[in-house]
Amino acid sequence: MPFYKDATGRGIELPSAYQLANALLDSAFVKSIQAMEADLTGEVVTVVTDGWTDINGLAVVNYVVAAGMKTYFLESVYTDSQSHDTEFLVRDARRVISKYKFLNVGAIVTENTAANKAML
């Protein structure tokens, strides 16, 4: 018997990989967004962006929201061959802000690159 079945007790049915990757993950995501919305209601937030390259050399832009001592990860966007130019960064920041309609955005903080400076 695998150790995890013994540790959880006999007769307990563990979720399948499919359940974890679909219904349970979707449910956890919805709950996390609801908790973030409840926690940030009435707060003025700052959206923070950070572009980087992952271990496979793929370009990524991360979006995080901060309000006082609270910080929440919003999403990562793989940008493929899309250049991180000013036009793209403005369009994508607007997309993220409009996706999370409950956020009261007061500022955007970006990296110190020419394209990021120009977007502001």
pLDDT computed for residue 8 by the predictor: 61
How far is the C-alpha of 119 from the C-alpha of 61, rounded, in Å? 15
Q: For residue 28, give every residue at least 6 positions away whose Cβ sits within 8 Å of its Cβ, in sequence order, or none.
A: none
CATH number at residue 107: 3.30.420
Tell me the pLDDT of the chain averaged across its residues.
Answer: 86
Read off the pTM.
0.76
Boundaries of domain holding 94: 43-119
Does a structural domain hold residue 36?
Answer: no
Classify residue 94: in a domain, yes or no.
yes
The answer as to whether 18 is a domain residue is: no
Residue type, 23: A
DSSP string, 29-88: HHHHHHHHHHHHTT-EEEEEEEEEE-TTS-EEEEEEEEETTEEEEEEEEE-TT----HHH
| Number of domains the chain is built from | 1
Residues (pLDDT < 70) of the chain are: 1-10, 112-120
- Domain-embedded: residue 51: yes
Tokens 């394209």 sit at which residue? Answer: 115
Q: What pLDDT score does 103 carry?
A: 96
pLDDT at 7: 63
Residue 47 carries which side chain, given as an amino acid letter?
V
Q: Write the pLDDT tens digit of every residue in 51-85.
A: 888 899 888 999 999 999 999 999 999 988 777 77
